[in-house]
Amino acid sequence: MRLFNYSLLLLSLIILSGCNAKKEKEKNTASLSDRYKNDFYIGTALSADQIEEKNPAVDSLIKKEFNAITAENIMKSMFIHPFKDQYDFTLSDKFIAYGEKNKMFIHGHTLIWHSQLAPWMQKIKDSTEMKAFMKDHITTIVTKYKGRVDSWDVVNEALNEDGSLRKSIFLNTLGERYLVDAFKFAAAADPKVDLYYNDYNNEEPAKREGNINLIKKIKAGGGKIDGVGIQAHWKLQHPSLEEIEKSILAYSALGIKVAFTELDISVLPNPKDLNGADVNQNFESNAKMNPYPQTLPDSVQVKLAERYASIFKLFLKHKDKISRVTFWGVHDGQSWLNDWPIKGRTNYPLLFDKNLKPKKAYNSVMELKETKQ
């Protein structure tokens, strides 16, 4: 009897050891894109250095964790079309090749945006010249990558916080018709590619209503629009899950896809008069506005993890409506929030820290998918 019990105990220990080893292996090899592959794409924004694969450790992390990519800056007008008769596709070619090599979903960002324009574009005053520029710019870029880019942000940030149209150089020279034309030009250049309108704070009630009206006008004018991008530059307490959910439902009801395109969650205080996520806004720095210059306290790490978990739980609830969730950066050290809206701060908005280590927030998102949905 004793021999039997000893043998049984030994067998149990072997089985337990095997199970633990299997769990440890799964933990080490599991990734965001694998866990969510049946739900939606998990993407990240790539910097120029990342596109050129300058850091092997970062490159390895990108390839493991993500299956969709967006160019952080290099496809914006000032970089890809620096002079009237000159395009520079050097880095965008590498970006497309990177996505193709790694079998990733490739998102183009962005064709028409009032910010980060080349200096020569800002001097256009004539409506005929502006429309010709728009047509040439959109047609040239979209045609070049026809069949290779999966979706485009055709127009970026055309709305004010109250839902009215931003008085951009495009609106001032062409009127609101420019929105319809932009989508028509893109669709003509590549009829099969998905076309998105992208903005920040468009989960807020007033701006959401303006965005809905904008989408309806584009459709009524004969423009092809396949989805809306909610940038999702959020905070620990704001916006509410209720408003995010209302937005998913409202946009989906228009018959379009919903993507969360620039997700990050700031853990730092911001100036009271901060308005949205306009890159042109800057404020003076002080110690109160930079409370965690060296490391993020564990108590805040926990809050960040809980916030990410609640958001992804909502995303999973509506996964049939969501096409892609993209983080705005690979790791904390890369985040634009270290310099905006106050330069020189240390923020911790992503799932990986500056040393490329997964944070509690990463674990909280992964744990949602540990059991089959």
> Annotated active-site positions, please?
157, 262
CA 129, distance to chain mean position in Å, is 32
Superfamily of domain 38-367: Glycosidases (3.20.20.80)
Quote the pTM value. 0.90
Give the Cα-Cα-Cα angle 200, 205, 211 (nearest 5 degrees). 55
Output the tens digit of pLDDT for each of the chain's 373 residues. 444 466 666 666 666 655 554 455 445 579 999 999 999 999 999 999 999 999 999 999 999 999 999 999 999 999 999 999 999 999 999 999 999 999 999 999 999 999 999 999 999 999 999 999 999 999 999 999 999 999 999 999 999 999 999 999 999 999 999 999 999 999 999 999 999 999 999 999 999 999 999 999 999 999 999 999 999 999 999 999 999 999 999 999 999 999 999 999 999 998 765 555 555 555 566 778 999 999 999 999 999 999 999 999 999 999 999 999 999 999 999 999 998 888 989 999 999 999 999 999 999 999 999 854 4
| Gap between the Cα atoms of 96 and 140, Å rounded | 16
CA–CA separation, 129 and 118 (whole Å):
15
Which sequence spans correspond to the domains of the chain? 38-367
Nearest to 42 by CA among 359, 348, 366, 301: 366
Q: Please report, for residues 109, 122, 141, 158, 306, the alpha-carbon distance to residue 78 in angstroms, rounded to integers and kept in the order given.
A: 12, 10, 13, 18, 38
Q: What interhelical angle do 241-252 and 298-317 show, nearest 10?
A: 30
Rounded to whole angstroms, the Cα distance separating 223 from 208 reads: 20
